[in-house]
């Protein structure tokens, strides 16, 4: 386990703040158009997000497509530099920050600002889920003889087999009953863009399933709890040997 500390060059590829909502029956997708226009200067790129529905029927042992529909469910807006991305959808709101990462306080403040605009234009009835997700890309120099030098939960191969690991994927779900918070933790091995290295992906999604009132300040305090748990997971899964490159 690594020491919990600030990393000047954190290996964060994407940091995400997500809220799932229920919108009123009066909501129309056109509500987003005014919202998009108000952010044109800061987020000039706007793309529709679609949901495709296809209905199949089985008749005399044969499948046939009876109905197909293409529905616009929201918009994806990108900042001028493409580093900040916001999604306005009929089921929720998502803010993403791509690398380089700044600080939690900065991305949290931007997410809150954009969320306020979402509320003003869409009037959500309630919030049903909040989450913060961090996708980390960690480069490890080749050759790797022992992943435990870098990972506290490395892939384990029986001793009688070859120990040359060329790929792995693991997913663990943990729950904290005291905080009523859960986390999805994914580890995966991929090719690296850096020569003579491999990339370990550490994807941490911490979330709370609970109905919050739109004006509930406690909801924002819960985000601090999610972020702290994310940090605990990050440093618990890694060793100081891998993190010294990101200080």
- What are 129-139's pLDDT values in tens digits? 999 999 999 99
CA dist list (Å): 14 to 17, 132, 211: 10, 11, 26
Q: 57 falls in which pLDDT band (50, 70, 90)?
A: low
Residue 151 DSSP label: B
The torsion angles phi and psi of 87, rounded to 5 degrees, stand at -115, 125
| pLDDT band of 56, cuts 50, 70, 90 | low
DSSP secondary-structure letter at 62?
E
Q: Is the pLDDT of residue 68 over 70?
A: no
Per-residue pLDDT band at 231 (split at 50, 70, 90) = very high
CB 206 within 8 Å of CB 230: yes
Are 134 and 238 a contacting pair, CB within 8 Å? no
Average pLDDT for residues 39-63, to the nearest whole number?
77
List, in sequence order, every residue forming a beta bridge with 206; answer none if it has no partner. Answer: 132, 183
Q: Distance (Å, rounded) from C-alpha 152 to C-alpha 133?
A: 20
pTM, full prediction = 0.91
Each residue of 149-184: pLDDT tens digit?
Answer: 999 999 998 989 888 888 999 999 999 999 999 999
Stretch 74-83: mean pLDDT: 96
Domain boundaries, the chain: 1-17+133-247
- The whole-number average pLDDT for the span 66-77 is 79
- So what's the pLDDT on residue 64? 58
pLDDT band at 55 (very low <50, low <70, confident <90, very high): low
Indicate the pairing of strand 181-191 with strand 169-176: antiparallel
Question: In 10-153, where do the E strands start and end?
Answer: 12-22, 45-59, 62-78, 84-89, 92-98, 126-141
Residue 135's H or E segment, with its range, is strand 126-141
Give the pLDDT of residue 54.
63
Task: Supply the mean pLDDT for the chain.
Answer: 92
224, pLDDT greater than 70: yes
At 43 the pLDDT is: 97
Whether 66 shows a pLDDT value over 60: the answer reads: no
Q: What is the pLDDT of residue 223?
A: 96
**Per-residue confidence band for 199, with pLDDT thresholds at 50, 70 and 90:** very high
Output the CA torsion sign for 164, 186, 8, 148.
Answer: negative
């Amino acid at each position: 386990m690594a020491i919990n500390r600030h990393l000047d060059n954190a290996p964060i590829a994407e940091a995400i703040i997500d809220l799932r909502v229920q919108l009123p029956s009066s909501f129309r997708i056109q509500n987003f158009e005014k919202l998009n226009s108000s952010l044109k200067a800061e987020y000039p790129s706007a793309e529709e997000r679609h949901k495709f529905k296809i209905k199949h029927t089985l008749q005399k042992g044969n499948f046939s497509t009876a109905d197909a529909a293409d529905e616009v469910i929201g918009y994806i807006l990108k900042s001028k530099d493409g580093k900040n991305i916001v999604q306005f959808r009929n089921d929720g709101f998502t803010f993403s920050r791509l690398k380089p990462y700044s600080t939690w306080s900065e991305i949290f403040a931007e997410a809150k600002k954009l969320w306020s605009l979402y509320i003003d234009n869409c009037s959500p009835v309630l919030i049903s889920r909040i989450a913060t997700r961090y996708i980390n890309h960690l480069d490890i120099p080749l050759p790797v003889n022992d992943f435990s030098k870098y990972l506290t939960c490395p892939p384990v191969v029986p001793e009688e087999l070859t120990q040359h690991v060329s790929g792995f994927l693991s997913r663990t779900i943990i729950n904290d009953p005291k905080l009523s918070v859960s986390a999805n933790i994914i580890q995966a091995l991929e090719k690296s863009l850096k020569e003579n290295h491999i990339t370990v992906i550490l994807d941490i999604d911490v979330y709370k399933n609970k109905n919050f009132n739109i004006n509930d300040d406690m909801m924002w305090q819960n985000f601090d709890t999610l972020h702290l748990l994310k940090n605990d997971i990050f440093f618990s899964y890694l060793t100081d040997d891998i993190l010294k490159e990101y200080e």
